[in-house]
Amino acid sequence: MKICEGRVAIVTGAGNGLGKAYALELAEQGCKVVVNDLGVGTHGEEGETKGAAERVVEEIRANGGEAIANTDDVAEWDAGKRLVEAALDTFGELHAVVNNAGFVRDRMFFTCSPEEWDAVIRVHLRGHFCTSRHAAEYWRAQSKAGKAVDSRIINTSSGAGLQGSVGQSAYSTAKGGIATLTLVQAAELGRYGVTANGLVPIARTRMTDTGAFDMDINEGEFDEFAPENMASVVAYLVSEQSRGVTGQMLELKGGRLFLSQGWTDSTAFDKGERLDAGEVDAIVRDLLEKREPAKPVYGAN
């Protein structure tokens, strides 16, 4: 059963890794796909994978699917508009934006330069903003015109964003911001027929292929780190089946799917009046003893 039949989706950063897996699976499930990829390397090096979007489109078409390529920079405002227009001009509709594009700069916080910080924040946070913002404007106008809207924003966060990761202050900050952005989008856009959810992939990609993660498998075993594993969840979220599921962060490792429950309150101490500065330490340490343990920061001892 093709669960995305008749749907149209934009996938950013779809020339390699997770994005490519998403585009291929969406096309396999009947979706028409705008394959976006700027053709840069793991750290944003220009031209390293030039032509990647076109190659994915060729593969989709060879398998009988429908797709077009786009090589715009998703962190540019006008480029986001062009992406939405490309979907509408070619396929006549747009049902989903899958924000996947990004890169990393491996740096400890005390050695991260302003240029490295800005580059990572730009591609992830601004890159998630531009295309989705233009799509949301289109969907809102459709809804206000009385047309039925059943559309999706699918963002990409990370365990680094939810828990933090040593050596990834900029990346973790951007991915944490994306998780919060997803909650706001879900709250604001639901009235217009738009859901917003986030992905937390645990998968082998160019960004994890740095020696920092052990993602090796034994020959013949199920590859729980294959990017294709996450693609099934993306196809579900793009499809009409996911209607009403919104504001969630979906984590997947292999075939193990679960929801991140985010920040939540501990039990409270209430004095009933202003606390004295000298008594706060004992209260905080008691609350720390009683709270549920947090998931550890990646790479922390």
Backbone angles phi, psi at 141, to 5 degrees: -65, -40
158 a catalytic residue: yes
Query: What is residue 296's DSSP assignment?
Result: P
CB-based contact 101:127 (threshold 8 Å): yes
CA 90 to the chain's CA centroid: 25
User: Which residue in 132, 151, 157, 158 is the catalytic one?
Assistant: 158
175 a catalytic residue: yes
C-beta atoms surrounding 103 within 10 Å = 20
The C-alpha atoms of residue 266 and residue 175 are separated, in whole angstroms, by 24
Structure tokens at 40: 């840069």
50 a catalytic residue: no
Backbone angles phi, psi at 133, to 5 degrees: -65, -45
User: Which residue in 171, 172, 242, 298 is the catalytic one?
Assistant: 171
Q: Which of 127, 172, 141 is nearest to 10 (CA)?
A: 127
The C-alpha atoms of residue 118 and residue 135 are separated, in whole angstroms, by 25
Structure tokens at 127: 């890159």
Q: What is the CA radius of gyration of the chain?
A: 21
User: Which residue in 175, 239, 242, 298 is the catalytic one?
Assistant: 175
Instruction: Report helix, strand or coil for 37.
Output: coil
Query: What is residue 3's DSSP assignment?
Result: T
Structure tokens at 257: 């799917």
Q: Find the length of the chain.
A: 301
Kindly tell me the sign of the dihedral angle through the C-alpha atoms of 106, 71, 54, 199: positive
- Cβ-Cβ contacts under 8 Å for 241 (sequence gap 6 or more): 3
150 pairs with which residues across the strands? none
Which amino acids are annotated catalytic? Answer: 158, 171, 175
